[in-house]
Amino acid sequence: MSPPANEQIEAKLINTEIIDFGQYWLTIKRYLWRIIGLAMLLTVLVALVVLSMTPRYIASASLLIEAEQANVLSIEEVYGLDSSRKEYFETQNEILRSRLIAEKVVDELTLYDNPLFNIEVIEANKSGISAYMDAIEDFAKSSLPFLPQNLKELKTEDEVVQSRRTFAVAQVLKNTTISPIKNTQVVDIAFESSDRALAALIANTIADVYIENYLESKLDMTTKATDWLNESLQGLRTKLSIAERNLADFYEREQLVDIDGVVGLASEQLQQLTDQLIDAQVLLQRNRTIYQQVNQSGADFSLLSSLPDVLNHPSIQNIKREEVVAESKVSELKEVYGPKHPIMIAANAELNSINKSIRNQITVLISGITTEYRTAENKVAQLKKDVASAKSEFRKLSNLENQRKTFQRDVDTNQQLYNSFFTRLKETDQLGGFESANARILDAAAPPPFPAKPKKGLIIAAAFVLSLALGVFLALSLEAMNSGIRSVDDVERKLGQRMLGIIPWQAHKRKENLPLRHFFDNKQHMFSESVRTLRTSLQLLNLDKPSQTVLVTSSVPREGKSTVSINLAFAMGQLSKVLLLDTDLRRPTLAKQFDLPGFQPGLSNLIAGTHTLEECIVSDEQSGIDLICAGSSPPNPQELLASEQFKLLMAKLKVQYGNIIVDSAPTQAVSDAVIVSKLCDSVVYVVRSDSTSHKIINNGLSRFLQIGHRVDGVVLNQVDLKKAKKTGEYSGFYDQYGYQSYPTDNKKS
């Protein structure tokens, strides 16, 4: 049973996803000689170009850039030079690559006059340029008289020299390579030129010019620093004189000798007055309190005597102690003596005297408190005036001190700047002629013995390899763009079908079919054996149920399906009774190939019932097969093939013949082959080698899969076996039949 249509389609998709390197190798093998030829051709062209190239030499000089320089001029600090930093070396590398160095090299060696750097010489060497310019000049003289008559003299001499110099500088920059050596202070200066001696000379000159440029820039820096210091020093001297004069005028105007001592005395005096004022204010506050208490008590002696300040007064306390003693004595004597006893009278008199003294002391104390309060009040007022006066004097002196400090600071600042610049100027004058280079040539460049460019052998070898790669790429690209079927592998991989047979290409005249009896030609053994192999494949394919009716079709016309049908019928006729039936009612070919007349009735006449079977059958005596041609061209060929009469006719023919070979119309043109295949046991699909696109073939095959009819296999027609044998595409397919032993004397007409 035939596999379902979706399973066959899935199998084809799986096959297309597998990368087949063997197929790539076959493609390369098929195009091998063309790939080699392309590689040889391109290699020869590259070799001719390379051999015509002017050899280029590269000379290198090593330059050591010092990291630690002799810092003899302190003025360098102004410019912030730091040779220990990485940026310093990168800066020096950029200076080596700069246009300034290139211009100095060009000027020192006058390279603009060298033919290798002269733009006019280079332009003149180009083919056709001089003649072209002469033609333009002649045209301008004859046709454009208002223009300058000598185009070559449009530029002035200075402009020409400048143009040459600019071109030479550009060439030096282009051919110079500055390469710092990693983790060192060494820089490699390389120059490329067609002149080996000139390459070495320019490389060394670049190093020398760099060192000289550094020394010149350093000397120029020193000169500019000296000029600047002189100008600055003159200005500082003037400023210092003005500042000193201002300070002297200040002392003269203010009549000052030692203002620092005066300010100190004023400060001490102000401090003393302030302290006295504070003490006086404290005393005044205390006296004010007592004074207020005395004034509030009025003339009541008992109240005045009980005041804390009165009681606490030392004199009052002393009298009070005496009073206590006297009272104690009176109290003791009262116990012994009577009131009129002289001792008692004396004791009372003493007590009264003490009380009277206390009263007098309190009276005097009260009077003294008032006086002391008034005195303290006056003293505080006077001290306040003295403090205010001292403050005013101190402020005046402080203001003078600030002014003096301002003038003195101006003098000190200008003096310091003047001294510093004066020291720098002396150092610069004394060491200005000392030159310390920051670099030295480690290895001078020597003329290289061998050219560095071009690497002719390497370029030619690389060209050959790349040409081979290009050839392989083009071959694979052509193979990828070629959608035709040319091998057994293509049939299985692109179509998902089995290969039933291969029909080799046979030499014949263009626009003509193969001779009808080509199968029986004893000289065409390979062709005959290929048809017999197709016959055997069909027989072995259907051992259980032999295919009695075989439909032969193709995708498009001119693929050789009719030729395959005829020769397959010849091969089948050697084993059984065979009928060759032409169902291509639109463009029939069998009648023409068998030299039958145009009025010969055929299949269309049988279906229409206008002729009998005996009238339509034609017997070929040489091959022993019978033939029914298409007959008259009907207006409705598809309806005739789908009719019941055609089915009955096929059933009747199957009874009379052992095999029926049906030649059908192409599948992409009409659907006649699909309709006829329903009445056939096998379908043989003819594909012209390396011609029809596999997409078109798959489209035709899918039509049979859609109706559930199996396609037994594909016959690859018109295969060039000579080419196939070289590429090995069919090795193992025909060798088992011994076709390689047959002579192939086919020659194209």
The per-residue pLDDT for range 509-533, each reduced to its tens digit, is 766 777 778 888 777 788 888 888 8
Whether residue 739 is predicted with pLDDT greater than 50 in this model: the reply is no
Output the pLDDT for position 745.
41
Number of H helices, E strands in the chain: 27, 12
Output the pLDDT for position 96.
86
Output the pLDDT for position 334.
75
Mean residue pLDDT of the chain comes to 76
Whether residue 577 is predicted with pLDDT greater than 80 in this model: the reply is yes
* 27 confidence band (pLDDT: 50, 70, 90): confident
Output the pLDDT for position 740.
47
The distance from CA 317 to its chain's CA centroid, rounded to whole angstroms, is: 108
The distance from CA 484 to its chain's CA centroid, rounded to whole angstroms, is: 43
In this structure, of 320-324, 643-647, 733-737, the range with the lowest mean pLDDT score is: 733-737
Find the DSSP H helices in 255-307: 259-297, 301-305
Output the pLDDT for position 724.
60
Output the pLDDT for position 188.
92
Averaged pLDDT, 544-549: 79
Whether residue 460 is predicted with pLDDT greater than 70 in this model: the reply is yes
The per-residue pLDDT for range 661-714, each reduced to its tens digit, is 999 989 887 888 888 888 898 899 998 887 777 788 888 888 888 887 888 888
Whether residue 647 is predicted with pLDDT greater than 70 in this model: the reply is yes
Q: Looking up tokens 């076959």, which residue turns up?
A: 26
Output the pLDDT for position 34.
86
Number of CB atoms found within 10 A of residue 325's CB:
13
- Whether 485 contacts 559, CB under 8 Å: no
Tell me the backbone φ, ψ of residue 680, rounded to 5 degrees.
-115, 155
* 311 confidence band (pLDDT: 50, 70, 90): low
Averaged pLDDT, 154-169: 79
Output the pLDDT for position 552.
92
pLDDT > 90: percent of the chain: 5
Whether residue 26 is predicted with pLDDT greater than 80 in this model: the reply is no
Q: Which of 88, 110, 119, 89 is nearest to 179 (CA)?
A: 89
Averaged pLDDT, 38-63: 87
pLDDT > 70: percent of the chain: 75
In this structure, of 29-43, 77-91, 108-122, 139-153, the range with the lowest mean pLDDT score is: 139-153
Averaged pLDDT, 198-209: 89
Whats the size of the chain, residue-wise?
749
d(Cα 64, Cα 181) in Å, to the nearest integer? 10
The DSSP call for residue 3 is P
Output the pLDDT for position 260.
61
- Whether 46 contacts 463, CB under 8 Å: yes
∠ Cα 548 550 555 (to 5°): 170
Nearest 10 degrees: Cα torsion 693, 694, 700, 702: -160
Output the pLDDT for position 367.
66
Q: Which of 569, 627, 570 is nearest to 595 (CA)?
A: 627
d(Cα 184, Cα 662) in Å, to the nearest integer? 90
d(Cα 743, Cα 222) in Å, to the nearest integer? 100
- The token pair at 714 is 């594909």
The per-residue pLDDT for range 258-287, each reduced to its tens digit, is 566 666 676 777 787 788 778 777 777 766
In this structure, of 21-25, 29-33, 568-572, the range with the lowest mean pLDDT score is: 21-25
Whether residue 502 is predicted with pLDDT greater than 80 in this model: the reply is yes
Strand partners, 56: 453
Q: Is the dihedral of CA 304, 307, 309, 315 positive or negative?
A: positive
The per-residue pLDDT for range 338-350, each reduced to its tens digit, is 777 787 778 778 7
Q: Looking up tokens 């600019």, which residue turns up?
A: 166
Element (H, E) at 605: helix 603-608
* 365 confidence band (pLDDT: 50, 70, 90): low
* 78 confidence band (pLDDT: 50, 70, 90): very low
Averaged pLDDT, 235-248: 78
Strand partners, 619: 626
**100-109, 238-247, 417-426 — which one is most confidently predicted on average?**
100-109
Whether residue 321 is predicted with pLDDT greater than 80 in this model: the reply is no
